[in-house]
Structure 1
């Protein structure tokens, strides 16, 4: 696992190893800036050369994987750190269903009548279901957070289509 490093003016530098971070802290050349993700700030350095870093994103329905990689000569990549984001899609769906059940109960109980409203059901053009919107927002927030911690120059996103019907019947075309 790499340790994120900032210079004196809080600009991102190349991540370093845990051992180097420990030595910098022990010698008094750095201070702990943030605990999660662990980030140190150098006291005596401003700017510096950085290598190209690439952030890889592997989306999934329950988890999304993030990998911060250093690009070296050619096609070789060295993985600096890995993250796994757990999505709350099922919890969000369950909460919305519970809210709808409460609303239905209020309408059917012997309470003050609350008529269903249908003129407030317009959707915007870029609307996504709340569980998917949560996935997008979470991944975007972590990409922004990591781009502030490390000098990321490129993003990779794995795009795959998965046919769930083929699991049931492999001869479907």
Structure 2
């Protein structure tokens, strides 16, 4: 989305109406600017990106997973082999609709208040994801699976957030998670 700020345009217009002699007699100032232009040299999931819908495991009213597999894999392979490896590679997350239950312990709220999703990195010992900031993938041991290729895939587990013995609210649950990847 392009944001258009109206105020600077008005100022430029007003300054351009000023007499050139007045402008010439004022003190000259300058600013030095350096810019680095980088190419998008990383591709996520073979160019498919991260967007998608993933089926979450079914859990019963007591909070027990009844599917054969108790988690959902969300692939997030970042290939930075085009043009050399990145000097910085970070991943951060935002909860779109329902928010986070616990940013430090990887808990994401769902559409059903009784159910949360616990997120882990698929690699590196399945560490819980800390949603509070940016994770530096270059600093994580085992994230680079091939030279310039990083696996930051997620495992998502449903967890009951009601005390034991209490029934969960029945129904379909969903959650939204925005993945932000920054590299240069």
Above 0.5 in TM-score?
A: no
Could you state the TM-score of these two structures normalised by the residue count of structure 2? 0.21
Task: Decide which structure has greater helix share.
Answer: 1
Larger relative contact order (CA 8 Å, sep ≥ 6):
2
Give TM-score, length-normalised by structure 1.
Answer: 0.22
